[in-house]
Amino acid sequence: LYFDVAHHVDRIRIHSTFAPRPLTSSEMNKPAASKPLTHMTIWCEDLPWWPVVVRRKDGICCADIFHAIYDTYHQPLSDSDRECIPSKRIAGCEEAFKQRCKSADSLTAWEEAQGLRRVDLLKGKTMFVGLRRPALNQDQNRWVLQVCKPSS
């Protein structure tokens, strides 16, 4: 699975022995876990300020998770966000910001004019590796998002 959380869910691809391809509707609509879940809170250790909350009465599917991650981290940094985050951390995101803008589906200049987004604070660690299940003695609705830098 190739999911760069800096880019829209439409760009998710399956990489196998064949050419990369988009996920099918049935793949996107697969249940997110072996037992039906109606609520998940996803935490990324690199972005502790914004938990990703996923809810669906009839059971969460993979698409719900992908969209929730993208929607949460694609938000522009607000003034209140900037107050909570050390300025040194924000200053260190310039390279990731420029790279995201350059690889965006929209025009680079337009994307740059929108400013920093939450995802830029990942400093390029935007590849979805997976979700780590909670330990048995922990809240079973709290999952951990694992990300890494894209391989070159």
| 89-123 confidence digits (pLDDT tens) | 998 899 999 999 999 888 899 999 999 999 999 99
Pairwise CA distance, residues 146 & 127, whole Å: 8
Closest alpha carbon to 26 in 69, 71, 61, 56: 61
Total domains, the chain = 1
Asked whether residue 53 carries a pLDDT value surpassing 90, the answer given is yes
Please indicate, yes or no, if residue 82 is contained in any of the structural domains. Answer: no
Enter the pTM of the model. 0.92
Residue 46 Cα distances to 1, 58, 100, 107, angstroms: 21, 30, 17, 28
Please indicate, yes or no, if residue 102 is contained in any of the structural domains. Answer: no
Please indicate, yes or no, if residue 107 is contained in any of the structural domains. Answer: no
Q: What range defines the domain where residue 56 resides?
A: 9-75+121-148
Please indicate, yes or no, if residue 100 is contained in any of the structural domains. Answer: no
Asked whether residue 66 carries a pLDDT value surpassing 80, the answer given is yes
Using CB atoms within 10 A of its CB, is residue 126 exposed (0-12), middle (13-18) or buried (19+)?
Answer: buried
Please indicate, yes or no, if residue 103 is contained in any of the structural domains. Answer: no
For position 149, what pLDDT does the model report?
A: 95
In which element (H, E) is residue 111 found?
helix 108-114
Please indicate, yes or no, if residue 1 is contained in any of the structural domains. Answer: no
- Residue 152 — very low, low, confident or very high, per pLDDT cuts 50/70/90? low
Please indicate, yes or no, if residue 58 is contained in any of the structural domains. Answer: yes
What is the average pLDDT across 26-46?
94
Instruction: Say what percent of the chain tops pLDDT 90.
Output: 77
Please indicate, yes or no, if residue 116 is contained in any of the structural domains. Answer: no
